[in-house]
Structure 1
Amino acid sequence: MLAGGGGITVADMAGLAARAEEAGCAGVYLAEAWRSGFVALAAMAGRTERISLGPYVLNAHARTPMIAGMSAVDLDELSGGRLVLGVGSGNRVTNESYQGVPVTRPLRKMREYVELLRLVTSARRGDRVDYAGEVHRMSGWRCQVDPVRDSVPIVLAATSPRMTRLAAAVADGIGLGSLQSAEYVARIAAECRAAAAREDFTVLMAALVAVDSDTERAREAARAAVVNLYAGKPHPHYDALLRSQGYEPVAEEVDGAVRRGDLAAARRAVTDEVVDRLTVAGTPHECARRLREYSDVDEILLVNVGGMRYEAGPAEHDARRALLASYEPLLELAAAV
């Protein structure tokens, strides 16, 4: 499950993680969007015992490999060796507009970033790490603590073909985005596993999930979630995913409507086929059936898009309560599958 949201507290997220563990979830992950990538996960570690925990994903432009690696070692220790470290190059808007950090040579950067993370997270007390790359450098750093595991699994977020190939080459797994059909994911997963030539290479994906007893209400929430990938902070890679899967007309209409400020028209442009094939929306039974179609994925992160409709609640307290309530059907779905 993917936890988090702009209207709930860190304590709320820790409670959701505990509920997710009770429901039988394999892991709980946190998008570094509304919240930072490690703090809430530390709170979740204190409320859980079994499930995997991790950022999905950590922004590599926001932290040096040294700081990210030390934080990962600390969280892995705190959780008893349950961290799955998801990293990615981040969204260009987040990096350049929000942080003022230019995005240059992302493929080279991520190759070196993952290599350095491995060195930092596997170093034992007294070990010295030196690294001279084209983007990243490290000299003279010595580890001051023994990690609880020989290595922390690193998952590289990838949506483009070149980043996908890089994930297979340097990471322990690939973190796929949302808005992908089961057939598309199956092909990418097969290609990655073949290229990695490792039996333990893992494939994770994040599914946009709207669970509701009213099928049409769930489908409308899914449509709004697709539009949300264009509105506010644009995600160009999702636009590319739509087009690469044969939905260029939908992408054109949604993008045009968002640029005009007509979000209602943008939602109408999201066709039934896009909802049916690229999201998971409907009753609990319908959603469970859809999730089973993604049989080639090791772990599916359930992204609660049903809660998005509560973002414009009349009062902060009511919005928070409604957002928390929107996770209930998601937890029930997780228990069912």
Structure 2
Amino acid sequence: MSNSDCRGLKIDRGIPSLLTEVADTARELEAQGYDGCFTGEINHDPFLPLTIAAEHTTRIQLGTSIAVAFARSPMTTAQLGWDLQTFSGGRFILGLGTQIQPHIEKRFSMPWSHPARRMREYIEALHAIWGCWRDGTKLRFEGEFYTHKIMTPMFTPEPSDLPHPKVFLAAVGELMTEVCGEVADGLLAHAFTTRRYLDEVTLAALQRGLDRSGRDRGEVELSCPVFIVTGADEQEMAAASVATRKQLAFYGSTPAYRKVLDLHGWGELHTELHRLSLAGEWDTMGTLIDDEVLAAFAVVAPLAELAGALQRRCAGVIDRVLPGFPAAVSPQTVNAVLRELRESPQLRSNV
């Protein structure tokens, strides 16, 4: 593995965005030994829950996966990141994503253009702003999309000796992955990603970005959610399989993710899934995900073999994993699997 802290694979978990549930969940995840807990920007703000989580934990890392960058100016995001980094004692990870053009323009009423170039500049602007606040340098950022040239003492936060928040970037396409290698601290891969896509497309594009910035692979963490199909018996395995096939069919119908299917020669599957999605045939779509496709996107194994199967999916590539366990698997069983995964000698030897 490429983890610079020699701790091996990091295991993360999502936390609810409902504020009344955050404190208990964050404390529980920290007690269970998770390395990080992440919120997403879906139907709630992703930053507010992390403030509560920071107050009720001391060790676990706290991150957004993702916050929509283009819905906010870099200055707004810089303030949020600075305050959460300070309040958490340096445990905050700012995970950013672009969303898609219709949502940026028609839901957020914000500008959209050249997403990869804009994102590179967005992250550069964040670092310029944070540098101004921490080091007292004059703020003079002038880019193609963003300009930040005014910062008076009244609007400057209190000084901090903490490092800047780590910035993780969601990327599927090669251009955005290269940007990640150039300017980000971590890559947030999409759940609709196969190991082959990581090996042949993601890592190659990431390395091109790293080469341009003169950095090593160990300076960027690769984080990836992983679908899990498991169960204590055939009935539980079958139920988990049906649910996962439906999820994969939904993602496979989305044009932005066709490139993953194309790599495997499954481009026509996207065509048919997209057609069925327009007709609202969601249950039918799931039946098109055969066992080969399922195994490419999900770790499929009975509980007794799950830790080893998940280890093989991650080893040598994924630095942080967010396993998506089926709802039927008990918390005690999840903890046992994750404990076995953490203690795996293969993971330790890959560090």
Q: TM over 0.5: same fold?
A: yes
* Separation (CA, whole Å) in 1 of partners of 2:244 and 2:15: 18
Alignment partner, residue 56 of structure 1? 65
**5+ residue gaps, structure 1:** 308-321
From 17, 22, 41, the equivalent of 1:13 is 22
Pick closer, same or farther for the CA change 1:160–1:257 going to 2, 3 Å. Answer: same
2:284 corresponds to 1:271 = no
Residue 190 of structure 1: CA displacement?
A: 5.6
With 235-244 and 250-259 compared, the bigger mean Cα shift is at 235-244
Alignment partner, residue 138 of structure 1? 148
Alignment partner, residue 34 of structure 2? 25
* Separation (CA, whole Å) in 1 of partners of 2:338 and 2:19: 21
2:199 corresponds to 1:189 = no
From 298, 309, 312, the equivalent of 2:319 is 298
Residue 268 of structure 1: CA displacement?
A: 0.4
From 238, 243, 249, the equivalent of 1:221 is 243
Alignment partner, residue 317 of structure 1? none
* Separation (CA, whole Å) in 1 of partners of 2:273 and 2:322: 25
Residue 109 of structure 1: CA displacement?
A: 0.8
Larger Rg: 2
Alignment partner, residue 167 of structure 1? 180
Residue 266 of structure 1: CA displacement?
A: 0.4
2:281 corresponds to 1:262 = yes
2:104–2:110 contact (8 Å) kept in structure 1:
yes
Alignment partner, residue 3 of structure 1? 14
Query: What one-letter code is carried by the residue in structure 2 that aligns with 1:153?
Result: K
Residue 240 of structure 1: CA displacement?
A: 2.9
Residue 103 of structure 1: CA displacement?
A: 2.0
Residue-by-residue CA offset, 1:189-248 (whole Å, 9 max, x unaligned): 365246413232211112233554311111111112223436xxx753223322233321
Pick closer, same or farther for the CA change 1:14–1:222 going to 2, 3 Å. Answer: farther
**5+ residue gaps, structure 2:** 1-11, 342-351
2:217 corresponds to 1:204 = no
Query: What one-letter code is carried by the residue in structure 2 that aligns with 1:244?
Result: L
Pick closer, same or farther for the CA change 1:136–1:331 going to 2, 3 Å. Answer: farther
Alignment partner, residue 119 of structure 2? 110
What aligned pairs does 1:65-104 form with structure 2 within 5 A after superposition? 65-104=74-113
Pick closer, same or farther for the CA change 1:302–1:148 going to 2, 3 Å. Answer: farther
* Separation (CA, whole Å) in 2 of partners of 1:327 and 1:252: 38
Alignment partner, residue 156 of structure 1? 169
Q: Percent identity?
A: 23
Pick closer, same or farther for the CA change 1:239–1:43 going to 2, 3 Å. Answer: farther
Pick closer, same or farther for the CA change 1:138–1:228 going to 2, 3 Å. Answer: same
Query: What one-letter code is carried by the residue in structure 1 that aligns with 2:314?
Result: Y
Pick closer, same or farther for the CA change 1:124–1:278 going to 2, 3 Å. Answer: same
Query: What one-letter code is carried by the residue in structure 2 that aligns with 1:294?
Result: C
Residue 265 of structure 1: CA displacement?
A: 1.0
Residue 331 of structure 1: CA displacement?
A: 5.0
Pick closer, same or farther for the CA change 1:229–1:117 going to 2, 3 Å. Answer: same
* Separation (CA, whole Å) in 2 of partners of 1:88 and 1:95: 11
Query: What one-letter code is carried by the residue in structure 1 that aligns with 2:319?
Result: D
* Separation (CA, whole Å) in 2 of partners of 1:287 and 1:36: 34
Q: How many matched pairs?
A: 315
* Separation (CA, whole Å) in 1 of partners of 2:184 and 2:93: 12
Residue 126 of structure 1: CA displacement?
A: 4.8
Query: What one-letter code is carried by the residue in structure 2 that aligns with 1:217?
Result: A
1:19–1:331 contact (8 Å) kept in structure 2:
no
* Separation (CA, whole Å) in 2 of partners of 1:166 and 1:220: 36
Residue 138 of structure 1: CA displacement?
A: 0.7
SS at the partner of 1:274? Answer: helix
Pick closer, same or farther for the CA change 1:282–1:13 going to 2, 3 Å. Answer: farther
2:252 corresponds to 1:242 = no
Residue 148 of structure 1: CA displacement?
A: 4.2
1:126–1:144 contact (8 Å) kept in structure 2:
no
2:228–2:299 contact (8 Å) kept in structure 1:
yes
Pick closer, same or farther for the CA change 1:100–1:334 going to 2, 3 Å. Answer: farther
* Separation (CA, whole Å) in 1 of partners of 2:77 and 2:331: 30
* Separation (CA, whole Å) in 1 of partners of 2:139 and 2:159: 14
2:179–2:209 contact (8 Å) kept in structure 1:
no
The normalised TM-score by structure 1 is: 0.84
* Separation (CA, whole Å) in 2 of partners of 1:258 and 1:9: 30
Query: What one-letter code is carried by the residue in structure 1 that aligns with 2:289?
Result: V
1:206–1:301 contact (8 Å) kept in structure 2:
yes
Query: What one-letter code is carried by the residue in structure 2 that aligns with 1:36?
Result: D
* Separation (CA, whole Å) in 2 of partners of 1:257 and 1:107: 31
Pick closer, same or farther for the CA change 1:119–1:287 going to 2, 3 Å. Answer: farther
Pick closer, same or farther for the CA change 1:148–1:286 going to 2, 3 Å. Answer: farther
The normalised TM-score by structure 2 is: 0.81
2:182–2:209 contact (8 Å) kept in structure 1:
yes
Residue 144 of structure 1: CA displacement?
A: 2.5
